[in-house]
C-alpha cells in the first residue's frame, strides 16, 4: 500500500471528487426505495397529488444519482490510469539501473509480466477501490437500517441473508486467494519459455528439441489452465449461490408479509422497499467479496513490483561529467565469474588498454 500512497498525491483532487460522487450515488440508491414505498402508499390511498409530487422527487434523485455515478466512473478511471502510469514509469526507470546480473535474476519474461499484467491488476484494484470501497459500507449499513425500518418484524430474514452470503463469500474467496499467486508465476514461466524458444529457434531446431520444448510449454500451460479453471469454477458456483439465497429471502418475505396484511394494509407497500433493500444488502456483500478477490490478486502484483523497487543494482555507475582522458588501463590477474556459479569462467587474466588523444 505504501507504493500506492507515494503516487496518490498528484491525483488527490480527482480522488476526493470520486469519493464524493460515490457517496452521492449511494445516497440516491438508498433513498429511491423509500420514495417508491411512499408512491405505493399514495396509490393505495388514491392520493394523486402525493404520487405526482413524490414521483418528481424520485426522478430528480435518480438523475442526480446517475450523474454522480458517471462522475465517479470518470474520476476513478483518471486516477487509476494516472497512478498506474506513474508506477509503471518508476518501475521502468528502476529496471534501467539494473546490471545484467539483476536482470538475469528476475529474467526478461518476468520483468515483462510485471510491467504489463501486474500493472493491469493494480489498475483494476485502484479502479474497483474508488468505485466500491466507499460504496460498500455505506450501502450495507444504510440498507440494513432502512430494511429494518420498513418491516421490523422481518429482522431475522435480514440477519439470515447476511450470514448466508458472508459464509458463501468466505468459503469462495478463501479458496481463490492461493490460486492468484500461482497464476501470476505461471504467466512468468510461459513468457520465459516463449522468449527462450523465439530467441533460440535455430538451436532448438539444430538439436531436434522441438518435442521437448513443446512438452515443457504444454506442462506449464496445463498448470495455468488448472488454476484458472478452479477460479472460474468457484465463480460459477458463487454467483448462483448468491442469487439463490437472495431469491429465497424475497420469497420468505412475501410469504410472511401476507400474514401482516390483515392487521397492517400498508405492509404491501413496505414489502417493495424491503425487497429492494434486501437486494442492496446482498449486492454490497457481493461487491465486498469481489473487492477481496481483486485486492488479493492486486496485493500479489504490488509485492512483485515492490520487490523490483527495493532491489539494489549490483553495479552502480556514478554520475560524472564526460572527460576526454588519455592513458593506460591495466588489468592484472583478474577473474570473472557469473552470479551463482561455482567456478570462474575466466581466471588469472592480465591485459592492458591504452588510449591516446
Per-residue pLDDT reduced to its tens digit, 1-33: 678 888 888 899 999 999 999 999 888 888 888
Unique residue bearing C-alpha cell 468457484: 234
Q: What are phi and psi of 189, to 5 degrees?
A: -60, -40
- Residue 19 within any structural domain of the chain: yes
Domain limits at 260? 2-309
Q: Which of 210, 72, 196, 44 is nearest to 128 (CA)?
A: 72
Rounded CA gap, 28 and 99, in Å? 55
Q: How confident is the model at residue 262 (pLDDT cuts 50, 70, 90)?
A: low
Average model confidence (pLDDT) for the chain?
82
**pLDDT: which is higher, 181 or 81:** 81
The per-residue pLDDT for range 201-235, each reduced to its tens digit, is 788 777 888 888 889 888 988 888 888 888 888 87
The owner of cell 431475522 is 156
* 187 in any annotated domain: yes
Specify if 251 maps to a domain.
Answer: yes
Name the pTM for this structure. 0.70
Rounded average pLDDT over 293-312: 82
pLDDT of residue 84: 92
Question: Do the domain assignments include residue 119?
Answer: yes
Query: Rounded to whole angstroms, what are the CA distances from 253 to 144, 162, 277, 281, 357?
Result: 15, 14, 12, 15, 93
Query: Is residue 141 in a domain?
Result: yes
Give pLDDT, residue 357.
63
For Cα atoms 62, 67, 72, give the angle at the middle one, nearest 5 degrees. 120
HEC letters along the chain: CHHHHHCCHHHHHHHHHHHHHHHHHHHHHHHHHHHHHHHHHHHHCCCHHHHHHHHHHHHHHHHHHHHHHHHHHHHHHHHHHHHHHHHHHHHHHHHHCCCHHHHHHHCHHHHHHHHCHHHHHHHHHHHHHHHHHCHHHHHHHHHHHHHHHHCHHHHHHHHHHHHHHHHHHHHHHHHHHHHHHHHHHHHHHHHHHHHHHHHCHHHHHHCCCHHHHHHHHHHHHHHHHHHHHHHHHHHHHHHHHHHHHHHHHHHHHHHHHHCCCCCCCCHHHHHHHHHHHHHHHHHHHHHHHHHHHHHHHHHHHHHHHHHHHCCCCCCCCCCCCCCCCCEEEEEEEEEECCCCCCCCCEEEEEEEEEECC
Which residues are CB-contacts of 265 (< 8 A; sequence separation ≥ 6)? 44
- 167 in a domain, yes or no? yes
Whichever domain contains 201, its CATH number is 1.20.1560.10
Residue 68: the pLDDT is 92
Does residue 301 fall inside a structural domain? yes
pLDDT higher than threshold 70 for residue 101 = yes
pLDDT for residue 63? 92
Q: Tally Cβ neighbours within 10 Å of residue 251.
A: 10
211 inside domain: yes
Nearest to 20 by CA among 66, 62, 71, 59: 71
How many structural domains is the chain composed of? 1
Amino acid at each position: 500500500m505504501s507504493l500506492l500512497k507515494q503516487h496518490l498525491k498528484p491525483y488527490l483532487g480527482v480522488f476526493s471528487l470520486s469519493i464524493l460522487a460515490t457517496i452521492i450515488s449511494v445516497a440516491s440508491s438508498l433513498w429511491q426505495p423509500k420514495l417508491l414505498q411512499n408512491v405505493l402508499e399514495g396509490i393505495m390511498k388514491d392520493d394523486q397529488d402525493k404520487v405526482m409530487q413524490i414521483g418528481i422527487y424520485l426522478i430528480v434523485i435518480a438523475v442526480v444519482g446517475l450523474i454522480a455515478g458517471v462522475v465517479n466512473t470518470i474520476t476513478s478511471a483518471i486516477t487509476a490510469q494516472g497512478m498506474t502510469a506513474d508506477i509503471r514509469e518508476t518501475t521502468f526507470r528502476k529496471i534501467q539501473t539494473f546490471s545484467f546480473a539483476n536482470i538475469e535474476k528476475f529474467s526478461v519474461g518476468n520483468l515483462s509480466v510485471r510491467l504489463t499484467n501486474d500493472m493491469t491488476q493494480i489498475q483494476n484494484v485502484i479502479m474497483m477501490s474508488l468505485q466500491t470501497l466507499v460504496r460498500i459500507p455505506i450501502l450495507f449499513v444504510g440498507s440494513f437500517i432502512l430494511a429494518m425500518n420498513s418491516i421490523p418484524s422481518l429482522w431475522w430474514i435480514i440477519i439470515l441473508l447476511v450470514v448466508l452470503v458472508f459464509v458463501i463469500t468466505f468459503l469462495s474467496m478463501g479458496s481463490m486467494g492461493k490460486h492468484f499467486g500461482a497464476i501470476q508465476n505461471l504467466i512468468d514461466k510461459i513468457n520465459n519459455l516463449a522468449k527462450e524458444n523465439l530467441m533460440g529457434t535455430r538451436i532448438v531446431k539444430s538439436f531436434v528439441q522441438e518435442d521437448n520444448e513443446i512438452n515443457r510449454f504444454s506442462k506449464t500451460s496445463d498448470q495455468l489452465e488448472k488454476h484458472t479453471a478452479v477460479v472460474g469454477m468457484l465463480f460459477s458456483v458463487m454467483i448462483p449461490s448468491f442469487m439463490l439465497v437472495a431469491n429465497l429471502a424475497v420469497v420468505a418475505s412475501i410469504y410472511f408479509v401476507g400474514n401482516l396484511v390483515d392487521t397492517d394494509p400498508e405492509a404491501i407497500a413496505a414489502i417493495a422497499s424491503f425487497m429492494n433493500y434486501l437486494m442492496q444488502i446482498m449486492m454490497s456483500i457481493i461487491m465486498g467479496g469481489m473487492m477481496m478477490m481483486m485486492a488479493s490478486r492486486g496485493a500479489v502484483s504490488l509485492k512483485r513490483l515492490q520487490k523490483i523497487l527495493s532491489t539494489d543494482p549490483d553495479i552502480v555507475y556514478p554520475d560524472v561529467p564526460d572527460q576526454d582522458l588519455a592513458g593506460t588501463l591495466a588489468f592484472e590477474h583478474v577473474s570473472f565469474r557469473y552470479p551463482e556459479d561455482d567456478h570462474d569462467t575466466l581466471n588469472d587474466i592480465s591485459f592492458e588498454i591504452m588510449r591516446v588523444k
